[in-house]
Structure 1
Amino acid sequence: MLKNWLRTTTAAATLFAAPYMALAQDAPAQGGDIVVTYKDDITTLDPAIGYDWVNWSMIKSLYSRLMDYKPGTAELEPSLAESFDVSADGLTYTFKLRPGVKFSNGREVVAADVKYSIERAVNPKTQGPGAGFFGAIQGFDALTGGTSDVLSGIETPDASTVIFKLSRPDATFLHVLAINFASVVPKEAVEAADGDFGKKPVGSGTFVLKDWTIGQKLVFERNKDYYVKDVPHIDSFSVEVGQEPLVALLRLQKGEVDIAGDGIPPAKFLEVKNSPEGAEMIVDGEQLHTGYITLNTKVKPFDNVKVRQAINMAVNKERITRILNGRATAANQPLPPLMPGYDKAFTGYAYDVEKAKALLAEAGYPDGFETVLFSTNTDPQPRIAQAVQQDLAAIGVKAEVRALAQGNVIAAGGTEGEAPMIWSGGMAWIADFPDPSNFYGPILGCGGAVQGGWNWSWYCNEALDKRAVEADSISDPAKVTERQAAWSKIFTDVMADAPWVPVINERRVVAKSTRMGGEDNIYIDPTRVINYDAIFVKQ
């Protein structure tokens, strides 16, 4: 039963693993300290709250989870768990913990820590965006509804055993236990931090946070007590923030920086690519990504579906791909092309200015309207937002572009009624795990339309939510195709309501120094963004 279950949950991973794979370069060496740069500061390192593509990799390395992925792939394997078993009906999961694993405060990790950590992630008081992932666990509704402080479906009969009882089968559950929200934390450290655990993290992962100077630098050191031998390879990595991408790239070329986290500014891409060291410096690969514009369905006039459909028709997506030097393709649905369930036959909303104007007139806005389009302030995102601004002006919509730091945009999106439109570039959705459900619940489902959530369109279609639960309850390995078809129809039906403008499916481009070793897929890791556990310095 266990082998069949693993084969089912990794079926999707095998469909897109190949694009991430590259020829091995050098054998991993132990030692070395590297420098990584980002423009924006890190908002939090709390695994129950952090949910942007910059802090995601760091959180992954600070904490452990019952399950994890083989480096550079989306293939599941036990991690903090030594072994596990799944009942024949798919409703009971039993995990045995590895013995002797310790938090960075010296205390051993026990089963009660797993229960506490997941209950904390689900508890509405935490105001974390990941609660909905755990919706299949018995007691979820009681905890989220405020009638209980615990999840009745998590049992800890002894210090090394965790049992999950589900209210329905969930084909994604092993993946859920590998995402950051399932990271295990010690209750005493959370309470001692007094609301500031995101700045004082304690975990059992590959690295520990040694220093954080707000607005300047974070220093992570190798956890010498990590439970996997010879992992990680580097001794430390420092994250310098406040670095403009162009400056970071110049420093990388001079050997002062090892990874330019914000990538290569489009204006410099061809220059770097054609340089003598370009082939060694650039890592360019596919990712499960969709960049989109959210249309806040709680804010007029975006509460009108015809207005949302008109906006979809007004955006010239091909022009945006040109801004990115062709490192993207135009999107027409929430799912990216590599994701199982992607509907190749679906065409979405064609670029049609005249039809967009007609729809606005039908909606009662023949002369357009004024609105605000939020964007991050790191190049090229403001330029893309300005391109959208020009497209909207062509149909009479006057959009003020408000370019802010990433954390401020995320906060605005998670506050009902604050952000009419958001261009998600720089924060756009990259799959947490290789399953179509991940492109629905957190960003389009009712569970994500909450304070602090990532459903920035505040779209809630209860009928589609019900169908989503039914799709995820199809856990029979023989019905994988049926499940994918169910998800495919959910996403095309979402587009009838047009809460988003799907804009691009972007390739990820990372700039790294020539001294950095390892396969390309650990710099564009499908579940980690950058895999700090696997990267190494050539010796």
Structure 2
Amino acid sequence: MHKVLKGFALTAMAVAISGAVQAQETPKPGGEVIVTYQNDVATLDPAIGYDWQNWSMIKSLFDGLMDYEPGTTNLVPDLAERYEISDDGMTYTFHLREGVTFHNGREMTAADVKYSLERTINPQTQSPGAGFFSSIVGFDAVSSGDATTLSGVTTPDDYTVEITLSAPDATFLHLMALNFASVVPKEAVEEWGRDFGKHPVGTGAFKLDDWALGQRLTFVKNEDYYRDGIPYIDQIDFEIGQEPNVALLRLQRGEVDIAGDGIPPAQFLQSRQDPEFQKLMVIGDQLHTGYMTLNVTIPPLDNLKVRQAINMAINKERIVRVINGRAAPTNQPLPPAMPGYDSDYEGLSYDVEQARALLEEAGYGDGFETELYVMNTDPQPRIAQAIQQDLSQIGVQAEIKSLAQANVIAAGGEQSQAPMIWSGGMAWIADFPDPSNFWGPILGCEGAVPGGWNWAWYCNEELDARAEEANAMVEPDQREERARIWGEIFTTAMDDAPWVPIFNEKRFTVHSARMGGDDALYVDPVHVPVNYDYIWVK
């Protein structure tokens, strides 16, 4: 999930949470909650919505075959009561829960699952998540518009769905937990057409009660939700148009329960140093890496020693201080919470003298001129300036190109246009907790195409082949070995230095004193940013 939206192995792993730990109290049902956002929500259609703001809203309105245990990346069945995988890893059989109803009162069946996948893949839907399901047999025919039904998805009865893949895919169960795989009723989609995103109908814990565009969205508890006692909250009011500084003041006064846009940078240090405010703050690790791409096709960045020198010239600790400590320095693409992360990997450490020596060996002892593209939203230009200053110490003069996000993305997606890009504001947050999601789109050959997200234009076919082998390891007893292989893929890629991995950003959420629930729910790694289904009012 890239941050155009604002971008997970079946290994059960809890995301590290710091800050004040909530006392273990019994959740209370009832109550109303106010959440603020500055900007309106674009859509609540699960096939379309793909941004930081609407991701958790959609997850509370819809369900899929799979989901994650609250506050963790531990994958569990959701609308599916259980599932089986064939011996060859090519066929998944899902047995649905009986009696689950949509918000319109109709029971959800296997036909709805099939329709929902076909709708997401259908090019007329224009879903940004269609490509996730390319391994399903029949995908090419549907995505090209030659067919409207997936030959690889069958429904033997109302409560059984069989999905056949064209190749084994260890990530497939994660894909069934994405918003894009949420189950929707065909009759509601056909009734509202392109406006379904403003009139969403799902099976989720909440349902949309009212939406005054530009002002407020109101979610109310789904009294018929299949999970007994969930959600705890009766109503959530999302207030739109709230300037973040004002929202924070209102939260401190008890008028707001969750500041959806977080803590404004200008108030971060003051807030974090306030003992009373610390009690309201929750800090969590994200499946995120902020990095600078080095376009391996543009001289002199096509020289390995030059790329290594740039890596060793960047003072990552200083960059973290620029953003008031809201991240941890890193030396590899995978974040620490991701399977495959190598805690023993040393990488290219900060060493200005060695960086100068490498440039000399590469024939650029006098340095060179280049360009560094960056999104023009604070604090990204300040980070780019810190990188610029570091590079000047080894004679590399980088002109900063500070542009609107869309223009930076366009520059990165067109080969030979952007020598270097600081990814901040667009840095990668995993769509699901599996290392494969950090490879294909942003480091694999498939992303090194016009319009792609591999802005380093790095393509290592040998590593791509190893990645395909890792993705074919679907057996549970292969998880540990698969994670090890993925770790080697990423550290081997760093031998080629197509990136400067800089930091893993932390998430800071703030909520009122009246809110209950484990801290992990407020920095939920997959119900980004908040798992509304399980928080409660004290």
Under a length normalisation based on structure 2, what TM-score does the superposition of the two structures give? 0.84
- Corresponding position of 1:400: 401
1:48 to partner: Cα distance: 2.5
- Corresponding position of 1:94: 93
* 1:138-537 to 2 correspondences below 5 Å: 138-144=137-143, 148-294=147-293, 304=302, 311-351=310-350, 355=355, 358=359, 367-375=368-376, 377=377, 379-391=378-390, 395-402=396-403, 408=406, 412=410, 416=414, 423-447=422-446, 455=454, 461-529=460-528, 530-537=530-537
SS in 2 for 1:399: strand
Amino acid at match of 2:383: I
Amino acid at match of 1:373: V
Tell me how far apart the structure 1 counterparts of residues 365 and 45 of structure 2 sit (CA, whole Å).
45
Tell me how far apart the structure 1 counterparts of residues 23 and 398 of structure 2 sit (CA, whole Å).
51
The change in CA–CA distance for 1:454 and 1:360 in structure 2 (over 3 A counts) is: farther
The change in CA–CA distance for 1:303 and 1:385 in structure 2 (over 3 A counts) is: closer
Amino acid at match of 2:359: A
CA RMSD of aligned residues (A): 3.5
Tell me how far apart the structure 1 counterparts of residues 476 and 185 of structure 2 sit (CA, whole Å).
36
1:409 to partner: Cα distance: 7.3
* Residues paired across the two proteins, number: 522
Kept in 2, the 8 Å contact 1:129–1:442? The answer is no
Amino acid at match of 2:175: V
Tell me how far apart the structure 2 counterparts of residues 453 and 125 of structure 1 sit (CA, whole Å).
21
The change in CA–CA distance for 1:231 and 1:121 in structure 2 (over 3 A counts) is: same
SS in 2 for 1:117: helix
Tell me how far apart the structure 2 counterparts of residues 95 and 176 of structure 1 sit (CA, whole Å).
14
The change in CA–CA distance for 1:330 and 1:240 in structure 2 (over 3 A counts) is: same
1:390 to partner: Cα distance: 4.2
The change in CA–CA distance for 1:247 and 1:186 in structure 2 (over 3 A counts) is: same
The change in CA–CA distance for 1:347 and 1:25 in structure 2 (over 3 A counts) is: same
1:142 to partner: Cα distance: 4.6
1:55 aligns with 2:76: no
1:305 to partner: Cα distance: 6.0
- Corresponding position of 1:29: 28
Deviations along 1:433-471, one digit per CA (max 9) or x if unpaired, are 332223223443455567886555565555433322210
The change in CA–CA distance for 1:31 and 1:488 in structure 2 (over 3 A counts) is: same
Larger mean Cα displacement after TM superposition, 354-363 or 172-181? 354-363
Tell me how far apart the structure 2 counterparts of residues 119 and 302 of structure 1 sit (CA, whole Å).
46
Structure 1 gaps, min length 5: 1-8
Kept in 2, the 8 Å contact 1:290–1:503? The answer is yes
Larger mean Cα displacement after TM superposition, 423-432 or 218-227? 423-432
The change in CA–CA distance for 1:126 and 1:71 in structure 2 (over 3 A counts) is: same
SS in 2 for 1:528: coil
Tell me how far apart the structure 2 counterparts of residues 382 and 217 of structure 1 sit (CA, whole Å).
32
Amino acid at match of 1:368: E
The change in CA–CA distance for 1:277 and 1:486 in structure 2 (over 3 A counts) is: same
Kept in 1, the 8 Å contact 2:208–2:218? The answer is yes
- Corresponding position of 1:5: none
Kept in 2, the 8 Å contact 1:64–1:79? The answer is yes
Tell me how far apart the structure 2 counterparts of residues 303 and 42 of structure 1 sit (CA, whole Å).
40
Tell me how far apart the structure 2 counterparts of residues 120 and 447 of structure 1 sit (CA, whole Å).
24
Deviations along 1:356-393, one digit per CA (max 9) or x if unpaired, are 79389858995413453125x3x544533443354456
Amino acid at match of 1:402: L
SS in 2 for 1:220: strand
1:136 aligns with 2:118: no
The change in CA–CA distance for 1:397 and 1:424 in structure 2 (over 3 A counts) is: closer
Under a length normalisation based on structure 1, what TM-score does the superposition of the two structures give? 0.84
Kept in 1, the 8 Å contact 2:374–2:380? The answer is no
Kept in 1, the 8 Å contact 2:17–2:283? The answer is no
Kept in 1, the 8 Å contact 2:467–2:489? The answer is yes
Structure 2 gaps, min length 5: 1-8
Kept in 2, the 8 Å contact 1:206–1:222? The answer is yes
Larger mean Cα displacement after TM superposition, 304-313 or 379-388? 304-313
Kept in 2, the 8 Å contact 1:304–1:363? The answer is no
Kept in 2, the 8 Å contact 1:305–1:497? The answer is no
Among all aligned residue pairs of Structure 1 and Structure 2, give the percentage whose two residues are the same amino acid: 59
Deviations along 1:99-153, one digit per CA (max 9) or x if unpaired, are 2323334433221221222233334554444344334322345545665544322
The change in CA–CA distance for 1:196 and 1:454 in structure 2 (over 3 A counts) is: farther
Tell me how far apart the structure 1 counterparts of residues 104 and 366 of structure 2 sit (CA, whole Å).
60
The change in CA–CA distance for 1:465 and 1:140 in structure 2 (over 3 A counts) is: farther
Amino acid at match of 2:224: D
Tell me how far apart the structure 1 counterparts of residues 449 and 243 of structure 2 sit (CA, whole Å).
32
Tell me how far apart the structure 2 counterparts of residues 535 and 335 of structure 1 sit (CA, whole Å).
29
Amino acid at match of 1:488: G
Tell me how far apart the structure 2 counterparts of residues 227 and 25 of structure 1 sit (CA, whole Å).
25
SS in 2 for 1:240: strand
Amino acid at match of 1:342: Y
Amino acid at match of 2:536: F
1:189 to partner: Cα distance: 3.5
The change in CA–CA distance for 1:506 and 1:369 in structure 2 (over 3 A counts) is: closer
SS in 1 for 2:387: helix
Tell me how far apart the structure 1 counterparts of residues 288 and 172 of structure 2 sit (CA, whole Å).
21
Tell me how far apart the structure 1 counterparts of residues 436 and 123 of structure 2 sit (CA, whole Å).
22
SS in 1 for 2:118: helix
